[in-house]
Amino acid sequence: MSAAAAPGAHDGAVLRAEGLGKRFAGGWVLEGVDLALHPGEIVGLVGQGGHGKSVLLKCLAGLLAPDAGRVVAFGEDLATLSSVRLAKVREAYGYVFQNYALFDFMTVADNVAFPLRQRGDADERAVKALVRERLAEVGLAAAVGLYPRELSGGMKKRVGLVRATVTDPDVILYDDPSAGLDPVTSSKIFELIARMQERRAGSAAIVVSHDIDRMRAICARYVMLERGRVVFEGGEEDVAGAPRAVSDFFDLDGAGVLA
């Protein structure tokens, strides 16, 4: 990146949650969450629906302010940053939303070009060429002039993926990128995630998903949330010794073998 890279000491983690807590009217959704993301790694964030995964991702991106603990990105506490500095830090982020969040008044090409154009220093011809190239990579070369309402769910996911990664950010947060997609399209989405992470060596990612089978292909480490607390952190080889709820989630039989 790194417009946001700061000289502060941060033990190599690009993103870190420390004792993170978030509460809404109904009570605490996250409690005491600790998590570190290092350059080049892809962490799978798993757990049942409604247990705080998306809220954690939004806190990590600075979209929600934590009620306890803090989020440190590139050595800087997000809560202490000015709006200008926070915007600079966010330039190093990519975020793929569960419900696409494509700008419905822009074409596919404009959606993808938007983050490049907003940085203000890009040559328009270069922007258009890069947008065409990235959309072609995900099989959407013919969709450049279409609006989001004219796309299928899988196509929207791919556009969201390209928009989040077109600036080659240092940290990418994927919020359930395969939600609501058929198995074939889901596989394609995870292949694309793997390809995008390969393109940018050193780029780190957190992937929220329930699709353990497909996550195995890209994630080396997992964090599992239950009722807003971290109940497991480690590689798949560590699951066997974890509580039953964790091994059940990873679909292991009693002997620690993949079912």
Partner 1 sequence: MIRALDATFGAVGRGYLALARTVGGIVVLFGRILRAMVPPRFDRDETWRNLYDVGVKSFPIVVVTALFVGAIMVIQSAFYVKRTGATGLLGYGVGFSVFAEIGPILIGLMFSGRVGANTTAQLGTMVVTEQVDALRTLAIDPIRYLVVPRFVTMLLMMTLLMVLGDAFAVLGAAGTADAMLGVDWRVLVQGLLEAHFLDEFFMGVVKASCFGVSISVISCFYGLNVRGGAVGVGRAVNASVVANAAAIFVLDFVIGTLYTVM
Closest distance of CB 174 from partner 1, Å: 12
Q: Interface with partner 1 by CB under 8 A: which residues? A: 58, 61-63, 83, 87-88, 90-91, 93-95, 97, 99, 101-105, 114-115, 118, 164
- Nearer residue to partner 1 within complex by CB, 2 or 118: 118
Evaluate whether 7 touches 74 at the Cβ level (below 8 Å).
no
- Of 2 and 238, the one with the shorter C-beta distance to partner 1 is 2
User: Minimal distance in Å, beta carbon 221 to partner 1?
Assistant: 23
| Amino acid identity for residue 34 in this structure | D
Closest separation in Å from C-beta 220 to partner 1: 25
Question: Between residues 160 and 222, which has the closer beta carbon with respect to partner 1?
Answer: 160
User: Minimum CB separation from partner 1 for residue 84, in Å?
Assistant: 9
How far, in Å, CA of 205 to CA of 209, rounded?
A: 13
Specify the residue, 62 or 66, whose C-beta has the smaller distance to partner 1: 62
CA-CA distance, 55 to 64, in Å (whole number)? Answer: 8
Classify residue 26 as exposed, middle or buried by CB count within 10 Å of its CB (0-12, 13-18, 19+): exposed
- Closer to partner 1 at the Cβ: 167 or 209? 167
Closest to 111 measured CA to CA, from 147, 136, 153: 147
Minimum CB separation of residue 41 from partner 1 in Å reads 20
Residue 109 and residue 117 in contact, taking contact as beta carbons nearer than 8 Å = no
Pinpoint the alpha helices (H) of 19-166: 53-60, 83-90, 108-118, 124-137, 153-165
Measure the CA–CA gap between 179 and 190, rounded to whole angstroms.
12
Query: Between 47 and 62, whose beta carbon lies closer to partner 1?
Result: 62
Residue 200, Cβ density class (10 Å: 0-12 exposed, 13-18 middle, ≥19 buried): middle
Minimum gap (Å) between residue 26 Cβ and partner 1? 14
